[in-house]
């Protein structure tokens, strides 16, 4: 059975490793192994001593214990360590869905969330984020109207890529209550959790609120370590976890030993790493806001409530043509709307990288010329 193109990756495959000024990355600034070990207060010897045999399929128990410690209602045996975060989406959709099931997906959606659900279930209804004057909004009554007896799963992603949307704790609880009332599974992608800027602080994890939730998280975005390919699912329901592990035997069998070792180091230095990345995002947004104000006819800026990215309105006939030209003439990379499955009059900006100021300067020179 065919699957839709993974548009974001197809676009980045053209430019990511030959375009110097990344202005749309969703991951935060990364670091070397040496720097990571130093932040964790460890030398490099531990890594050198790692054995490269097979590892436990569900993940190293010490890593699972460290992951579970961040939640109130998650035990180490409810954590499934993956070989990459995106693998978790594949495994969860394969496990939860059958052809004919109905799925509601928060839209726009990271490609794998929508495309995998559609691939397995065949039917997906978009729960649409809509632009408001000062941000993005979600209609929770809309969701209630969309649910029917075939609805098996609701897929959300908070903080949201690409809009930076974050529900209030009350809104999030109402979503959980709705799922619980109807016995609907919730797949909650929490890859950007920890990057909340508002006074309410970090949104509670669905893992602590609902026993029929599957939570995806990992170290690629908030911690800026996508090269580790470290991610995990939190699954309280035992039969679902067992069924998912069976799928995992067909994909990667077990996590990579060096990754598990380094992931433990990253979690132990987590507070420092996340604080650093949040500060960088704030600084870069503070540069971006006056930039958008200087070009009011071109951009419509809706500040993100959380996360490392924002979806910015771009007043051009084709964001795709525009972004190709921008990348090819100035080496500045934005992600056009058409590659996020939305109107091609938006672009994604990413605020988590050190090179943001330089990239913005190059972009402004392009605009002035
Ligand atoms: C919302 C969301 N979920 C999952 C992933 C997958 O993370 P990774 O690429 O590290 O596997 C991404 C990556 O962009 C993402 O934005």
Confidence of residue 146 (pLDDT cuts 50, 70, 90): very high
Q: What is the per-residue pLDDT across 86-121, written as a single tens digit (0 to 9) for each?
A: 999 999 999 999 999 999 999 999 999 999 999 999
58 Cβ below 6 A of ligand 1? no
Place of tokens 């951009």: 299
Residue 86 CA to ligand 1 center (angstroms) comes to 6
157 Cβ below 6 A of ligand 1? yes
pLDDT in the model for residue 200:
82
Could you tell me the pTM of the whole model?
Answer: 0.98
Q: What CA–CA distance (Å, rounded) separates 66 from 269?
A: 12
60 Cβ below 6 A of ligand 1? no
pLDDT in the model for residue 1:
77
Judging by DSSP bridges, how do beta strands 335-336 and 346-350 pair with one another?
antiparallel
Locate the ligand 1 atom nearest the alpha carbon of residue 113 and give its number: 3
Q: How far is CA 106 from CA 1, 120, 158, in A?
A: 24, 17, 10
pLDDT in the model for residue 154:
98
Long-range contacts of 199-206 (CB under 8 A, 24+ apart): 200/168, 200/169, 203/158, 203/159, 203/166, 203/167, 203/169, 203/172, 203/306, 204/169, 204/172, 205/71, 205/234, 206/172, 206/176
Confidence of residue 124 (pLDDT cuts 50, 70, 90): very high
Nearest one of 26, 12, 82, 32 to 221, comparing CA atoms: 26
pLDDT in the model for residue 32:
98
Q: What does the pLDDT average to over 190-211?
A: 95
224 Cβ below 6 A of ligand 1? no
Confidence of residue 205 (pLDDT cuts 50, 70, 90): very high
Nearest one of 365, 363, 196 to 288, comparing CA atoms: 363
Q: What is the per-residue pLDDT across 287-312, written as a single tens digit (0 to 9) for each?
A: 999 999 999 999 999 999 999 999 99
Residue 295 CA to ligand 1 center (angstroms) comes to 31
Q: What is the per-residue pLDDT across 317-327, written as a single tens digit (0 to 9) for each?
A: 999 999 999 99
Q: What CA–CA distance (Å, rounded) separates 81 from 192?
A: 17
pLDDT in the model for residue 198:
85
CB 218 within 8 A of CB 85: yes
Q: CB-hemisphere CA count at 13 Å for 4?
A: 19
115 Cβ below 6 A of ligand 1? no
30 Cβ below 6 A of ligand 1? no
Residue 366 CA to ligand 1 center (angstroms) comes to 30
Give all strands of the β-sheet with 309-314 in edge-to-edge order: 299-300, 309-314, 346-350, 335-336
Q: What CA–CA distance (Å, rounded) separates 64 from 77?
A: 7
108 Cβ below 6 A of ligand 1? no
Confidence of residue 207 (pLDDT cuts 50, 70, 90): very high
Residue 149 CA to ligand 1 center (angstroms) comes to 30
59 Cβ below 6 A of ligand 1? no
Residue 156 CA to ligand 1 center (angstroms) comes to 13
Which of 10, 165, 191, 194, when mutated, tests ligand 1's pocket best, judged by the most ligand atoms within 8 Å of its CB? 191
């Amino acid at each position: 059975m065919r699957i839709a193109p993974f548009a974001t990756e197809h676009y980045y495959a053209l430019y990511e490793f030959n375009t110097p000024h990344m202005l749309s990355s969703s991951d935060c600034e990364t670091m070397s192994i040496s720097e990571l070990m130093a932040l964790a207060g460890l030398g490099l010897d531990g890594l050198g001593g790692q054995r490269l045999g097979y590892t436990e399929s569900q993940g190293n128990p010490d890593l699972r214990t460290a992951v579970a410690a961040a939640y109130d209602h998650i035990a180490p045996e409810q954590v499934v360590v993956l070989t990459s975060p995106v693998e978790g989406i594949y495994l969860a959709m394969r496990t939860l869905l059958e052809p004919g099931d109905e799925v509601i997906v928060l839209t726009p959606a990271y490609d794998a969330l929508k495309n995998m659900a559609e691939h397995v279930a065949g039917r997906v209804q978009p729960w649409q984020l809509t632009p408001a004057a000062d941000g993005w909004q979600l209609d929770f009554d809309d969701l209630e109207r969309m649910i029917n007896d075939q609805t098996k799963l609701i897929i959300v992603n908070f903080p949201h890529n690409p809009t930076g949307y974050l529900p209030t704790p009350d809104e999030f609880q109402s979503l959980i209550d709705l799922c619980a009332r109807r016995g609907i599974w919730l797949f909650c992608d929490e890859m950007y959790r920890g990057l909340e800027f508002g006074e309410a602080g970090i949104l509670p994890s669905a893992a602590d609120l609902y026993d029929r939730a599957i939570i995806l998280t990992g170290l690629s975005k908030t911690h800026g370590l996508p090269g580790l390919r470290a991610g995990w699912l939190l699954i309280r329901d035992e039969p679902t976890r067992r069924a998912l592990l069976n799928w995992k035997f067909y994909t990667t069998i077990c996590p990579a030993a060096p990754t598990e070792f380094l992931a433990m180091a990253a979690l132990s230095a987590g507070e420092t790493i996340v604080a650093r990345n949040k500060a960088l995002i704030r600084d870069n947004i503070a540069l971006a806001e006056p930039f958008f104000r200087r070009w009011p006819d071109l951009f419509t800026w809706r500040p993100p409530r959380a996360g490392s990215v924002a979806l910015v309105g771009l007043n051009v006939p084709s964001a795709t043509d525009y972004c190709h030209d921008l990348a090819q003439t100035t080496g500045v990379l934005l992600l056009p709307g058409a590659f996020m499955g939305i109107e091609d009059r938006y672009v994604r900006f990413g605020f988590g990288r050190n090179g943001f100021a330089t990239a913005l300067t190059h972009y402004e020179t392009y605009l002035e010329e």
